[in-house]
């Protein structure tokens, strides 16, 4: 089953909620701000919005994806751009492992919401490392925490993502934007790839995760309080309705009893007259 990503429609506000539009724009703009150099590989480009935005700014972008529908959509979107942008952006239906390294490598490689689809992320990261310039930048985003989706094979937190990336790049930026982790890092020298993260790295990752979990707990408490307030109001309305119904019920009972007595007397009288 194809993933049918609709990132362009969300970016332009054509589908989903305003919150979804804002979240999509926030992380795409974050990625664009952290691109450096001149040549860019957008691996897993989807419908191509990030590549086109960078092409408008003068970057030379090679954009690849495995889904034919996404590449067709991206090419259609590119045809609406100026000749200058069309000359800078190149969409290809290709896997990153089939891509030959250009002379000197790419200045920046983008992996926008790609890594979570890999059960073995080092397969992808090794290819990105191979294709990067020796001082190149890796910029990526992944869903933060659990996101239920049929093709998400891994869940990432600040610590787990950074540990996966540590052998390949030196962290330059790590932020959370609308439930997504955004990361930028410079390619590591080969002789430094075996090093392990130190205490200062672990402490920083833990601090970010703790802060985000604190926010989640605060949101949970607010939602629980809101639900309790709604439930309390409903209970009060029910009690008020019951209190209003009780006096009417008390009045109705004597009237019903009197009516029953009158009917009984009438029946007795009728019986006596027939007995003559």
pLDDT digits (tens, 9 = 90+) for 228-265: 889 988 888 888 888 888 776 666 666 665 665 666 55
Q: Are 173 and 183 in contact (CB under 8 A)?
A: yes
Extract the residue ranges of the chain whose pLDDT is less than 70: 1-3, 248-276
The strand pairing partners of 60, in sequence order, are 39
Q: What is the pLDDT of residue 32?
A: 98
Q: What is the pLDDT of residue 274?
A: 46
Which DSSP helix (H) or strand (E) runs through 50?
helix 49-56
Q: What is the pLDDT of residue 273?
A: 46
Rounded to 5°, angle at Cα 92 from 91 and 98: 140
Q: What is the biggest distance separating any 2 CA atoms in the chain, rounded to whole angstroms?
A: 127
Q: What is the pLDDT of residue 257?
A: 58
Of 41, 80, 85, nearest to 63 by C-alpha is 41
């Amino acid at each position: 089953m194809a993933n049918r990503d609709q990132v362009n429609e969300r970016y332009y506000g054509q589908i989903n909620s305003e919150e979804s539009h804002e979240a999509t724009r926030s992380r795409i703009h974050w990625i664009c701000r952290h691109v450096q150099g001149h040549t860019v590989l957008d691996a897993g480009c989807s419908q191509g919005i990030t590549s086109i935005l960078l092409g408008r700014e003068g970057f030379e972008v090679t954009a690849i994806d495995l889904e034919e529908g996404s590449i067709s959509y991206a090419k259609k979107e590119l045809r609406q751009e100026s000749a200058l942008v069309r000359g800078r952006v190149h969409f290809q239906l290709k896997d990153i492992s089939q891509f030959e390294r250009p002379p000197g490598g790419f200045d920046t490689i983008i992996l926008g919401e790609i890594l979570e689809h890999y059960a073995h992320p080092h397969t992808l990261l090794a290819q990105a490392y191979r294709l990067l310039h020796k001082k190149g930048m890796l910029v990526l985003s992944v869903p933060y925490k659990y996101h239920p989706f049929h093709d998400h094979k891994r869940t990432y937190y600040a610590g787990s993502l950074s540990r996966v990336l540590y052998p390949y790049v030196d962290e330059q930026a790590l932020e959370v934007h609308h439930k997504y982790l955004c990361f930028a890092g410079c390619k590591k020298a080969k002789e430094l790839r075996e090093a392990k993260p130190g205490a200062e790295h672990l402490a920083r990752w833990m601090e970010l995760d703790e802060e985000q979990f604190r926010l989640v707990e605060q949101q949970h408490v607010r939602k629980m309080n809101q639900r309790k307030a709604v439930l309390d109001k409903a209970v009060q309305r029910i009690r008020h309705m019951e209190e209003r119904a009780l006096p009417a019920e008390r009045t109705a009972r004597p009237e019903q009893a009197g009516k029953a007595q009158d009917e009984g007397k009438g029946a007795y009288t009728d019986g006596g007259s027939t007995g003559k």
